[in-house]
Structure 1
Amino acid sequence: MRRTVVHAPPKPVTVAYKASASEESVSISEFVQRRCPSLARDFVPAWWLFNGHLQTLYSVLGDFTKTDNVIYQRTYLRLQDGGTLGLDFTGPDDTQCEADAPMIVVLHGLTGGSYESYVRAILAPACSPLSEQGLGYRAVVVNFRGCAGVPLTSPQLYSAGHTDDIRQALFYISQRYPTAPLVGVGFSLGANVMTRYVAEEGELSRLRSLCILGCPWDLQANTDKLTSTYLGHHVYSKGMGRNLVNLLRRHVDTLSTYSDRGVAEAAAATMNMVRPTIEAFDSHFTRIAGGSSPPWPFATAGDYYAYASSHKVLGNVQIPFLAINSVDDPVVREIPVGSERSGWVTIAVTPQGGHLGWFEANDKWFEVKRWIRTPVMEWLKATAEDLICVTPSWRPLYTDKDGYIREVNGNAGLGCKEVEGGGIIVGAEPQRDVLAGL
């Protein structure tokens, strides 16, 4: 059985959309069915990538340097707490598209960045001109603190539960492109962050819609299942743990200067670990320095997982929301298809595809392409162009005397401003010491 199962919300909302020369109102379930027809077609994995392990390992070890090449223009944002984000923009410039052209906002996976092949697999076609069968959209990848060459300038990294960084990045993007509909795409850990962000914001979300791929949902349950098998424990969990330690190693000199909250001590202790699992890394470092205080630091990794999990907040989502997971994903084994969720949330589950893989055969013998790009492109076009949305009542933005962009009557601790640096980023260039694809 290779058919994708689309789990519609128990009580779907009614939405209006543009249908030929008129406007129609249908349930969100019917909207997904009509506007994302690829979800109803069979996904047939490449014959030599016939299970979730092979799909996942190819995502990590495959050579994608010559496919889906994307050139970015980086902008650095300084946050109110001293942290730095790297925003990588791509697509047509302001002279080549209308001011209200859609903007795709992307969050990458665990230790990735804009260079990831799964990110480029979406942005390369989405940002191509209509004449080349693209969407002609603009896009920006928000690189987490310390990832993809972004300097670490604060006593914290990032985590599955810290949403203020994407919140502040959206201040900047919204002010820079005030009339552009913002549509979100999140991968793996970034999917968890985006889910929590839109749930926390509700009707005030600056994202018009969201599509998430490979979300880890219930962090404790999926961590427990991951480490319950030999491959899960020794290959995937330790592989992700090694990635995090190698990422931390790049910034340990900076972190060693911060004595607040025990960050320097936590960094030093973590650096002494040999091939830790992801849970061991989270226990030593993420629970202490994965976000701002409060609620960080947490007493245990389990407390952090309980706080950061996204499956429990789906009832608060108030925008069109499509999640896609795979049954044979060796990293994410628990998918909340039976959980309580709002009428906006659709969860599609493919029988195969691994973790952020979804590779199907291309024209040549061993050449593959990502099946996932088709449903994601359909969703982006449907929600950015066809869906008729109520004008959101966002909190207005202003720039303070120090140049920080803030929300009127918003959180006083949040604000961001553009700082020097950045430049051209070649998306296909791999990162040293960090495995891609996760």
Structure 2
Amino acid sequence: MYAAAEQRIHNVHTLTAGPARCADDWAWRVLEEIDYGLIVVDVDCEVLHANHLARHELSRERFMRTHGERLLGPSAWHTEQIVRGVQRAAQGRREMIVLRNGDLCLHVACVPLFNGYEQGGSVLLMLGRQNDTGNLALAFFSRSHGLTPAEEAVLKCLCDGLRVPEIATAKGVSENTVRTHVRSLRDKTGINSIRGMIQRIAALPPVVPMTLSIRRAAHRKSNERPAPAADPLPAPAAVGGGLRPGQSHTEALAARGTERTFRKGLLLIQEGDLGSTLFIVRSGRLRAYAADPQGKEITLGIYGAGEYVGEMSLDGGPRSANVETLETTTCSVITRETLLAYIAQEPAFALEMMARLIRRARLATESTRSLALIDVYGRAKRLLEELAGPPAADGSRTLRERITHREIASHLACSREMISKLMKDLEVGGYVEKREQRIVLVKGLPARW
């Protein structure tokens, strides 16, 4: 429907009818970066350009549509309003028209694109939003705060004026689930009120997220004719100067993210959600785990400062596990676009990530083998010895971190009661004891129990 008008972009070199010429299609590219529906038409209502949001609105045909290259309305009344607004703007007057469709309405500002001393030329139609926050601004806000898709969906409903019961009904979930997402929104954004979040989103610059820009740029590049030779630009690796002396790739990448602090017990990542963020732990601890519908959990890993989680979903697939905070934790939230840009600048980091993924795959294989072939005591012995620090002067080894019987049971896929009984037996046997809330291996654990 709109292909003919799109084809004209490279043939049109002016936004005005006067001497102010545009040497390239940079003006159209500017329009593509703005999170408002924008349409440029001539005095006969022929479409010269429509940006991404305007094309979406035209495809819905609620208030406007195209016939060939001409901008019309879904009815004669709509067409009359559009033509009237464009004609008045062509005479140098700024005009506001209101298009209605049932209970919905769209405000359209008609702005002349010439200096006021000349007649005719082009007219810019600026489409109003249906709510206070644009969808792209909301997506930008969600990515910058590391929100899950479910949390973003709840936030969008809140921006649309829905209350918790209405959101629960619309999404087919319980009200408690919605309230949990709302609490998570407050924790991740640091904004206590819903109104404050909406105001923050509304105050964002009306620009599109980087993903859309990259996608459109790639599409343009594939359709553009070869450009004349120009002075070469610096290679991406030269930008930013690389790593500082002694700086790791993880530290350099973390510096490019948004730092957030999360309270203890907060669900950062939910299994099955589509995700596009990586969390680099700056301080605190995270636990990755899987759970069944009955609430039984198995811990897949504990991650501390300098480690990261969330990389498994950066291929566009769903999250493979849940991740929660074990204590107050500060993370640097990295978007997929930021990660890809960093890898383009520092290709060695891709090898580092690959090595880490291989190590995690190897640990997953070992864990599966242990669950299938080793009894609970054997698995507990292996876990305690892995968590224990170097031997002290008396030969004892203290676990590097505090861990509860429940957490041990979650690691080993068994009941807490079984672990409590096993640890009590080891304590009676003189193999383990508690010192300052930490488990201490007093002497080597026996091969069998």
Alignment TM-score > 0.5, same fold? no
TM-score by length of 1: 0.19
Q: Please identify the structure whose Cα radius of gyration is greater.
A: 2
Q: Which has the higher helix share?
A: 2
TM-score between both structures, scaled by the size of structure 2: 0.19
